[in-house]
Structure formats: structure tokens, C-alpha cells
Amino acid sequence: MKELENVVIRFSGDSGDGMQLTGTQFSTTSALMGNDMSTFPDYPSEIRAPQGTVAGVSGFQVCFGATEVNTPGDEPDVLVAMNPAALKANLADVKRGGTIIVNNDAFSPANLKKAGYESNPLDTNELDNYKVIRIDISNLTTEALKNLDLDLKAKGRCKNFCALGFTYYLFDRDMDSTIKWIESKFGKTPVLKEANILALKAGYNYGGNTLITTNRYQVPKAKIEKGKYRQMQGNAATAWGLMQAAEAAGLKLFLGSYPITPATEILQELAKFKEFGVKTFQAEDEIAGICSAIGASFGGALAATTTSGPGLALKTEAIGLGVIYEIPLVIVNVQRGGPSTGLPTKTEQADLLQSFYGRNGECPTVVVAASRPSDCFEMAYEAARLALEHMTPVILLTDGYIAQGAEPWKIPDIEKEFRPIKTRMVDRKLAPGEQFLSYQRDPKTLVRPWAIPGMAGYEHRIGGLEKSENFGNVSHDAKNHQRMVELRAEKIARVVDNIPDQEVFGDKSGDLLVVSWGGTYGATYSAVRELRKEGKRVSLMHMKYLNPMPKNVGKILKSYKKILVPELNMGQLQHLLREKFLIETIGYHKVQGQPLKITEVVGLINRELESL
Amino acid sequence: MSETTTYTKKDFVSDQEVRWCPGCGDYSILSAVQTAMTQIGKKREDICFVSGIGCSSRFPYYMNTFGMHTIHGRAAAIASGLKIQNPNLSVWVATGDGDAMAIGGNHLIHALRRNVDINIIMFNNEIYGLTKGQYSPTTKRGVITKTTPYGVVDHPFVPASLALGCDATFFARAIDTDVKHLTSLVVEAANHKGTTFIEIFQNCVIFSDGIHEAYAGKATRDDNTIKVEHGKPMIFGKERNKGIILRGTRPEVVTIGENGITEKDLLVHDKTDDNMAYMLSRMKFPELPVALGIFRQVSAPSYEMDVEAQIAQVTSKKGAGNMKSLLHSGQTWNVG
């Protein structure tokens, strides 16, 4: 058996073939076996695109390793292709010399035609550069299930477990956890339970019967931090992070939202937790989503709204209302390819400037970003913490890549790592005759107090019209407006005193600093780590707090000869850095709906180091 | 409510100077609502007025309660969120025909459909006042406005028919200057569980002065409007001698004492009868008197109470959740 440090495997088939499930099972098993890992699903925007066509191909990629894994991997070492369309859609991505496991039965003339093949690629020299394993997966499955009382179609549906079983043999995986999963999932229908277990074992045994052991691989346990782990997907982590913040603040969580890819899962996830008192409101549109949250915030909830790019555009006016009200509000934007409807299921980071500037008037707000699937938990908590402690809307940026990706997550000690949040809720009775000044600010933070309906004596009105300093009454006074615009800006600027300093991975000065933000962390970190092992003088500054930026960012930027800013947009962070620090940077702008690859960043860094 | 507090109208007057035009219908609406608030059995701090944009939307500033002046058209959505967050509040939306029926149309119909327990008061003057005289979704065809110098060619909404089409569980109509009637409807709305919608014929003295005068004017209203009351025959007229009967499926005006018609022949209003409510909504002057009062009131589950019920039900089954056990639930594994 050969030992490997890490492996990237992509399961690919028709969108009805159950590839997401297969991939999830493979990754859960690998995590339980002690590997570090990272996953990413890749599915078409059509729910059921025409069967057998390239448009209908659904994939799930997992990278599992004996060392630290930070991305789902650049290129698959192994491709499982359940039909010709899956082969066609993915072949270009597969590493040269990689392994391709095909369901031989599915390569019928009709399926080949649907996939756009004129001749069967298994019979030509098209796959000469790969190790091809042809298995009659469909037949193998129906043969294994021949004694079961199930129709042929139902038997055929078990073929994904047969394919999974084969990969389990190939990579010496333990079948137990998947068997347990099948038992609990199909417990009520014994025949389906038996069928799927038989299919899984048939695939596994087929491996044992046909492969000689030297063709098997082992990926040993990873040396990762000790502790108790669980799988965490980005969108679920965002949902849980908001719940964590509500608990830490002693408030109830309210989510006003409207379904939109790829953010919908946060609404779906939060809708489950009635026993936490979470209220989810599926509104009639994006605007009502944020507006209901604004109403709930005025009523004393930790209020949030979740969306993706086009939805953020629709929420623009209401965010402005939140800014002038100065009420706590979390806006989660799970970015996708734009403009307009763009690429709904593909990833991009092109809403950074929209988050900074996409509103009428002088309308500053806090902007933070999550760096990886499990980090969505911490950054959702942080977004809520800053919203509550500073009485302001906060925009949390994630993206389709980390929102749908998953990875093992060391379960935090919440008492230590997520401290209670102190809100600005008024907590004393007013003296007789005392007037509540709704916009009287804390001198240090410039934050106003929070009084909610139900509090006797605190009756007050807030509005979208400019208000007088301290009193909050409508004011059209020229000097007052200038003052209030400046105060609102300064209030956001002072959030800097309540966020951690920027960290740098690597030396504090050197030849090259890579600056990244948000969901590209896995690729930029892995690339920098790899090159540092080779002795290259490169460091990484990965940003999670974008507005305001941590105090030490300017100093860090001045400590390197060159600054490289790779982004999944046309240079938006680069623009902000140039504007704020008057420095020249080298940009790398990828807008293909795909994440950065580690090799891509390694190449970029090497190119810049060579030209120093 | 367990505790009762006695308020006078003055308790609901805020310290802000009222800035509507002299003679504006909004003054009498404000007065009626302030009086009504003393009769709804709610503490002042448990009342919140929410508005959008427009002349009517200045309303919250003048009420000495909690208040939110929001953005154009969105009051119903914001009020919904507030009520769902805290079902104990008495939540009111002050809005106009432009705010509620044009830019806010989507939020209005969905609030009515969901039956969130909020109270919507729509001031209908068939014009955009604050932007100075453009036609609204309730302006009649042919009317000359700033944006229709040759007359409106849009077909207008009938707010009552629209609300009933949304299955509104409470719809009523009133005239701004009939303060007593309006006050009683506001109190009825406060006591109704679910979304209430009151349309008020409001007179804009600047841009659509006299638009409702033919039926709502003090001299004409007795003969040209009919105040419906549940369980009572449909009688109207200065002399209280006119009534409504059904001929086939259509309403018709009759005179009591003529052609053998007696009070017993008249339609009796049933606010739970959907067909009757719709019929009332379609009655147009001058063919028929314009209907006022509560057209429809039926009892139905209110959204926020169902939300609370689900939370209570799931919590009693699963126990109150906490993050620590959630994080450790499901599939976990130990490393090292």
C-alpha cells in the first residue's frame, strides 16, 4: 500500500445521481479517521438540468490529508465520473497522471451523444495521460441487489454507494460510519437500508477482488491540534455564530430574510432552532427582509438579514436607515458572481466596494469578512458583537466558496473564546421629569443608548430625517447636519479600538507581502506556507476587519518591498489600500466564478520574487 | 391587560410642533387617534407608531409614544418585524395612498395576507402631497395633476377591494372630519387580533382639495354615504329613509315606505360575509352611496401568535436550547 500526504478526490455525476451525498460520506469518514480535510460542492443552478448533459453535472470535491488542509484542493488526483457528461465536464481539471474511475455501463451511445462525444473516449487515446479504472458500476449494483424486492430503477439509484465503496477500498477507508448513517437514514424502510449497504460493500469488495494491494493508498492521520472536532459548513457556521452572539448578549435572535443562492441555507438553518427562541421571518422580498429586521432591532432583538449580492443592492436604502437610526443590525452577504444575476452558484469577492460605498449620502458602516468555512462562526459573532456594542449596521462578507464548503472544526470553549456581549440597552429608571436623550453619545465611543418599546419614560421617535445632536429631533440645520455626518463617521472610525490588531503570517518584514481578505485565505495561506518552507521571504496579511481596518495595517504595509493583492474581483481591496495608505500594490484579478488555486498563488509569488 | 392606566388625550400629544398645512385633514385624524389611544387599554410605552414617507408619515413625531419614521413604502414590513419581536406591543402604521399602494404595495398585501397583528391607517387623498401634486394609485382616471397635464390614464385601485382580495381580516373606512366615527373604528381596530386596515378619506387642501367632497362633505355625507354596522339593516339618508336591497346579486337604493318597502326588506350587514364586504367595496358614488364603517371582520390566527406557539411547542418538547450542547451535538470526534 502506498502512503500519500494528501489526496484530492472529486465525485461527479448527473445532478440526480447523489454525488453530494457520496462526497459528504467520504469526507465525514475521512474526518473520523483523523485526516484534516476541506470540501466543496459544485452543482448546476438548474435543479434538474437535462439528464446526461454537461449542464446537469453535479460535483463534490474533497481534499483530505495527513497534514494541514486549508482548501478543497486545486486539481483532483482522482475523478469519479458516473457518466460521459461528468467525464467531459471535469477532465480538464484532473491532474495529469491522475486516476479516473468511470461507470463503464453509463458510456452508452445515447449517453455519449448527450454529453457531446462523437466516439467513446474510453476507446480512444484521449485518456492516455491518466490511469483509467473502468467499472460496470450499474451492473455491479443491480447484481448485488438481485435478491431484493426492489424495482430496477430503485436498485439503480444505489449505484452511488457502490462507487463510494470502491473509493473506500482504494483509500483504505472504514465503512462503519457510512453504514451507521445508512441505518439511521433508511431505518424505516429496511429494504432500502439493506440495498444501500449491499451496494457499498459490493463496491468495496470489487476493489478487493480486482486490485492488487500495491494499487491501494493510505493517507495517515493528520497531526492537528488535539481536541474535540465536528464538521462545519460555512453557512451553518454563520447561523450558529449569530445564535452564539444572541446567547452572549442575552437577546433573542431575529432573522428577516428572503431566499437567494447561495445564502438561503442560513435562513433554513436558523428556522430549525425554535427552542433557542430564534425567530425567522421569510419576507416577501429582500427589502422586507431587512426592514423587518430593523423593526425587530428597534424592538430589542439581535436582528439580522442574510442575502447575496443582488439582494444587498436591494437592501441599500434600508441599510442607510439603519445607519442614521444607529441601531444594531447584522447584514450577511454571501457573495456570488455578478453583476446583476451573474453567476448565482459560483463564487466571487466583488461586493467589497458595494459594502463600503453602495449607499446614498455619507453612510459609513462596519465591514468584516470570514476567511474559511468554520471562521464564519467567529466572524458572525464578531459582526453581531460590533453591531450591538457600537449601535450600527455591520456587513459580514462571506462567499459561495466558503459558505458551501465544509471542514473539521475544533469545537471552541465558548465561555473562554466568546465572551458576553455588553449591549447599550439602558438599564435604569429615569428620574422624575428627566428627559431621555436618544442621541446622547458615550464620549469615548460616540455610541448612543438603546431604549426599546416597553420601557416606560423612554418613549421617543427615531427617523430617517437628519436629527439634532443629542435630542434626536428632526433638524434641517446646516451646521447640525455637518456635525452629525462627522459624528457618524467618527463613531465607525472608533470601532478600531474594539477590534484585534492585524496579524501577519511569516516575517514582520521582507521581500514580499501577500495581502488577501475573505474566502481566499485557504489558497493564499497554503501558498505562502509552502514557499516559506522553501526559504522564500514572503509573508501573508489576511484581513478579516475591513472597515475600519486595524490600526497596524499601515505599518505592516510599509515593511515589505513588494505587496501582492490577489482577489476574486477587479482589484477592490487594492483600490481601498491605495486610497487609504497611498501605496502601490500588485494586483491579481480573477473573475471566473472559481476560487484561487494554491498553485496559482505560488506561481504569482514566485514571479514577483524573481523580478525583485 | 392586568394593569389599567387612565390617560387623557393630552398624554398622547408629543412636544413636537405639528407641521401640516392649515386646514389639512390630518389634524382631525391625529385628534381622533390620540383620543382612541386613551380607550384601548394599552400602556403608552407599549404603543409604537410606524410610518413611511409622505405627509401622513409625519404622524409618529406627533404621538407621545414610541415611534419610527422609516423609508418610503416600508412601514408595514418594519412594523411586522417589530410586532413579531415583541407581540405585547400595540403597533400602528400611519401611511398614505402613495406610500401604501404604490411603492409599499408589496408589503401591504403581504402584511394583510399574513395577518400580523398590526393596525394600518391609510390616509387616502388620491394625490402625492409631499412631493407636491403628482397622481397616485388611487387618483381617478382623467384627473389633471402635475404629472398628468392631460389627465390620468391609469386605472386606480379600490383600496377596500384590494385589501379584501388579500383576505384582510379587518377592513374599515372612515371620513377624516367625522372624528367620532373614526375614533370608534380605531378602537375597534385596536381590539381586533390580526392586521387591520382603515382607509380614511382625507382632504388635501392644497393638491386635491374637495376630492371626496361630493360624498364626504358635511352637507352631503348623510345622503351619499352609508355607515354599515354589523347586524343592522343598511339604512342611510338625512331622513334615515333610504336603504339598500339586493336585486339579483346587485345592490340597489330604495326608499322606505315607497313601493311597499319596509325596513325588513333591507340588507342586514354581516361583517363575516365575504360577498357582502366585497359588494360594499364596489359601491360607487353617484350610482350608490359610498360605504363607511367595518366592511369585514373575521377571526383568524395572527402570525406572531403562531410564531410564539411554535416556539413554545418545540421548547416544551426539546427543552430550551443552549449553544454549548448544540456545538457538542451530532457527529463529533476526538483528536489526540
pLDDT tens per residue, range A579-600:
999 999 999 999 999 999 999 9
Is there a domain that residue B47 lies in?
Answer: yes
Mark whether B250 and B168 lie in a shared domain. no
pLDDT at A77 over 50: yes
How many whole angstroms separate alpha carbon A303 and alpha carbon B81? 9
CB contact under 8 A, A279 and B307: yes
Mark whether B127 and B257 lie in a shared domain. no
Banded model confidence at residue A46, pLDDT cuts 50, 70, 90:
low
CB contact under 8 A, B323 and A244: yes
Residues contacting residue A262 through CB under 8 Å, at least 6 positions apart: A235, A308, A334, A336, A344, A345, A400, A403, A404
Banded model confidence at residue A49, pLDDT cuts 50, 70, 90:
confident
Q: Nearest chain A Cα to B306, which residue? A: A279
Cα dihedral across residues A450, A456, A462, A467: positive or negative: negative
| CB-nearest partner of A459 from B66, B74, B328 | B66
Chain A residues touching B106 at Cβ < 8 A: 284-285, 288
A189: left (phi over 0), alpha (psi -120 to 50) or beta: beta
Q: Is A298 on the interface with B (CB under 8 A)?
A: yes
Q: Chain A window 83-112: which residues touch B at a Cβ cutoff of 8 Å?
A: none
Mark whether B221 and B243 lie in a shared domain. no
Q: Is A464 on the interface with B (CB under 8 A)?
A: yes
pLDDT of residue A45: 63
pLDDT at A534 over 60: yes
Best mutation target, B53, B327, B328, to test chain A (most A CBs within 10 A): B327
Query: CA of B45, closest CA in chain A: separation in Å?
Result: 5
pLDDT of residue A47: 63
Closest CA to A513 of A414, A429, A591, A612: A612
- Scored b (16 or more CB within 10 A) or e, B57-85 reads bbbbbbbbbbbbbbbbbbbbbbbbbbbbb
pLDDT of residue B1: 42
Chain B residues touching A465 at Cβ < 8 A: 69
pLDDT of residue B262: 96
Cα dihedral across residues B263, B267, B270, B271: positive or negative: negative
Mark whether B289 and B159 lie in a shared domain. yes
State the residue for C-alpha cell 458595494.
Answer: A354
Chain B residues touching A252 at Cβ < 8 A: 85
Best mutation target, A181, A298, A321, A363, to test chain B (most B CBs within 10 A): A298
How many whole angstroms separate alpha carbon B43 and alpha carbon B50? 17
State the residue for C-alpha cell 390630518.
Answer: B26
How many whole angstroms separate alpha carbon B72 and alpha carbon B77? 11
Q: Is B325 on the interface with A (CB under 8 A)?
A: no
Helices (H), ranges, A300-346: 309-325
pLDDT in tens, B175-222: 999 999 999 999 999 999 999 999 999 999 999 999 999 999 999 999
Mean pLDDT in chain A?
A: 96
CA B311 to chain centre: 30
Mark whether B261 and B284 lie in a shared domain. no
C-alpha cell at A288: 422586507
Amino acid at position A30, single letter = S
C-alpha gyration radius of chain A: 27
C-alpha cell at A572: 477592490
CB contact under 8 A, B110 and A28: no
- What range does the domain containing B241 cover? 233-268
Q: Nearest chain B Cα to A273, which residue? A: B321
Banded model confidence at residue A612, pLDDT cuts 50, 70, 90:
confident
Mark whether B115 and B151 lie in a shared domain. yes
Is there a domain that residue B328 lies in?
Answer: no
CATH of domain A227-498: 3.40.50.970
Is there a domain that residue B13 lies in?
Answer: yes
SS3 A303: strand
Q: Is A294 on the interface with B (CB under 8 A)?
A: yes
For residue A524, the tally of other CB atoms under 10 A from its CB is 28
Element (H, E) at A516: strand A510-517
pLDDT of residue B4: 56
CB contact under 8 A, A296 and B84: yes
CB contact under 8 A, B79 and A243: no
C-alpha cell at A313: 443592492
Closest CA to A594 of A529, A519, A490, A487: A519
How many whole angstroms separate alpha carbon A37 and alpha carbon A222? 9
How many whole angstroms separate alpha carbon B25 and alpha carbon B200? 10
Considering chain B, what percentage of its residues have pLDDT values greater than 70? Answer: 99
Q: Is A486 on the interface with B (CB under 8 A)?
A: no
SS3 A406: strand
Mark whether B247 and B104 lie in a shared domain. no
Mark whether B242 and B296 lie in a shared domain. no
| CB-nearest partner of B71 from A295, A297, A464 | A464
Query: CA of A365, closest CA in chain B: separation in Å?
Result: 18
Q: Is A272 on the interface with B (CB under 8 A)?
A: no
Q: Nearest chain A Cα to B63, which residue? A: A461
A272: left (phi over 0), alpha (psi -120 to 50) or beta: alpha
Mark whether B26 and B137 lie in a shared domain. yes
Q: Chain A window 315-354: which residues touch B at a Cβ cutoff of 8 Å?
A: 317-318, 320-321
pLDDT of residue B2: 43
pLDDT in tens, A207-227: 999 876 667 899 999 988 999
pLDDT in tens, A160-170: 999 999 999 99
| Beta pairing, strands A279-282 & A461-463 | unpaired
How many whole angstroms separate alpha carbon B181 and alpha carbon B28? 12
pLDDT of residue A215: 79
pLDDT in tens, A249-304: 999 999 999 999 999 999 999 999 999 999 999 999 999 999 999 999 999 999 99
Closest CA to A471 of A442, A443, A437, A433: A437
Alpha-carbon distances, residue A281 vs A254, A303, A313, A604, B77 (angstroms): 8, 11, 20, 45, 11
* Contact (CB, 8 A) for A243 and A255: no
Q: Which CATH number characterizes residue B132's domain?
A: 3.40.50.970
State the residue for C-alpha cell 382603515.
Answer: B198
Banded model confidence at residue B5, pLDDT cuts 50, 70, 90:
confident
Q: What is the spatial order of strands in the sheet that A393-399 belongs to?
A: A279-282, A253-257, A302-307, A329-335, A393-399, A366-369, A545-547
pLDDT in tens, A399-435: 999 999 999 999 999 999 999 999 999 998 899 889 9
Mark whether B86 and B218 lie in a shared domain. yes
In chain B, how many domains are there?
2
pLDDT of residue B188: 98
Chain B residues touching A384 at Cβ < 8 A: none
Residues contacting residue A356 through CB under 8 Å, at least 6 positions apart: A367, A546, A547, A576
Residues contacting residue A307 through CB under 8 Å, at least 6 positions apart: A257, A258, A260, A263, A286, A289, A314, A315, A331, A332, A333, A334
CB contact under 8 A, A287 and B81: no
How many whole angstroms separate alpha carbon A122 and alpha carbon A134? 9
The vertex-A262 CA angle with A259 and A265, nearest 5°, equals 65
pLDDT at A68 over 70: yes
CB contact under 8 A, A300 and B85: yes
**Is the CATH number 3.40.920.10 carried by domain A2-218?**
yes
The vertex-A357 CA angle with A352 and A361, nearest 5°, equals 165
Alpha-carbon distances, residue A177 vs A32, A69, A185, B326 (angstroms): 8, 22, 12, 21
Packing angle of the helix pair A309-325, A286-298 (nearest 10 deg): 30
C-alpha gyration radius of chain B: 23
Strand partners, A103: A135
pLDDT of residue A43: 72
CB contact under 8 A, A294 and B81: yes
How many whole angstroms separate alpha carbon B179 and alpha carbon A383? 48
C-alpha cell at B118: 398590526
| Domains A2-218 and A510-610 fall in the same CATH topology | no
How many whole angstroms separate alpha carbon A258 and alpha carbon B77? 13
| CB-nearest partner of A32 from B71, B77, B333 | B333
Mark whether B169 and B63 lie in a shared domain. yes
| Beta pairing, strands A329-335 & A510-517 | unpaired
How many whole angstroms separate alpha carbon B263 and alpha carbon B267? 9
How many whole angstroms separate alpha carbon A82 and alpha carbon A166? 13
Q: Is B69 on the interface with A (CB under 8 A)?
A: yes
Q: What is the mean pLDDT of residues A332-337?
A: 98
Q: Is A463 on the interface with B (CB under 8 A)?
A: yes
pLDDT in tens, A360-393: 999 999 999 999 999 999 999 999 999 999 999 9
Q: Would you give the end-to-end CA distance of chain A in angstroms?
A: 44
Q: What is the mean pLDDT of residues A483-502?
A: 98
Q: Nearest chain A Cα to B85, which residue? A: A296
SS3 B287: coil
- Domain extent listing, chain A: 2-218, 227-498, 510-610
A390 — phi, psi (to 5°)?
A: -115, 5
DSSP string over A11-74: EEEETTS-HHHHHHHHHHHHHHTT-EEEEEEE--SSTTPSTTSGGGEEEEEEEEESS---SS-S
Total number of residues shown for chain A = 612
Largest Cα–Cα distance of chain B, in whole Å? 99
* Contact (CB, 8 A) for A376 and A269: no
| Beta pairing, strands B196-201 & B170-175 | parallel
CA A293 to chain centre: 23
Q: Is B153 on the interface with A (CB under 8 A)?
A: no
pLDDT in tens, B42-59: 999 999 999 999 999 999
Q: Is A174 on the interface with B (CB under 8 A)?
A: no
Is there a domain that residue B3 lies in?
Answer: no
pLDDT of residue A27: 94
CATH architecture of A510-610: 3-Layer(aba) Sandwich (3.40)
The vertex-A378 CA angle with A377 and A383, nearest 5°, equals 100
Chain B residues touching A230 at Cβ < 8 A: 327-328, 330-333
Is there a domain that residue B318 lies in?
Answer: no
C-alpha cell at A158: 444505489
Mark whether B109 and B189 lie in a shared domain. yes
* ipTM entry: 0.97
